[in-house]
Structure 1
Amino acid sequence: MQYITLLSGKDMYYQYPHGDEVYNALVVYETKDTMGIPEIQDDEGLELKYFSLEQRIEGINIMAETILRKSGYISWV
């Protein structure tokens, strides 16, 4: 795994649809040797899959999009 960046501060604020608020602190790592089928390991996830970063991801969560943009993985708007 390769360290990419640390994300925190006002850009990492998120308000959930039910009203809870959080300020996230995230460490982003990249791996290139991923194997297997992704599997949800909690009671909050609905779907987990691989996707291309070349095109806009339909229905992406605003926080996930912010993380990808701040980490330098996407530039699309």
Structure 2
Amino acid sequence: MYYKYPHGDEIYNVMAVYEAIDVEGQAKINDDEGIELHYFSLEEPIENINPFTELTLRKIGYIKNW
């Protein structure tokens, strides 16, 4: 996903979607690049979700209830 800011900076965002069923335990970051890692249920709205991520999850059928 390419985006060019008004001041000229350009970025490419990457989204990875994984479906997990019957997850147990705590999510853990295994490197020094991650800041936060969480599991989310798609049955309830996700606070502060990126609008493009929400649109993509809707289009592929993961978000249906909200």
State the Cα distance separating 1:71 from its structure 2 match.
Answer: 2.0
Q: Where is the strand percentage greater, Structure 1 or Structure 2?
A: 1
Q: Which has the larger radius of gyration?
A: 2
Instruction: Look up the match of 1:68.
Output: 57
TM-score under structure 1 length normalisation: 0.49
The Cα offsets for residues 26-52 of structure 1, whole Å up to 9 and x where unpaired, read as 6x5533243331112341x32211222
Q: Out of 3, 21, 35, which is 2:24 matched to?
A: 35
Bigger relative contact order, structure 1 or 2 (CA pairs below 8 A, ≥6 apart)? 1
Stretches (4+) displaced over 3 A? 23-26
Give unmatched runs, 5+ long, in structure 2: none
CA RMSD of superposed structures (Å) = 3.2
Q: 1:41 to 1:14 in 2, by over 3 A?
A: farther
* 8 A contact 1:14–1:63 mirrored in 2: no
TM-score under structure 2 length normalisation: 0.54
Identity of aligned residues (%): 46
Amino acid in structure 2 at the alignment position of 1:63: F
Instruction: Look up the match of 2:11.
Output: 21
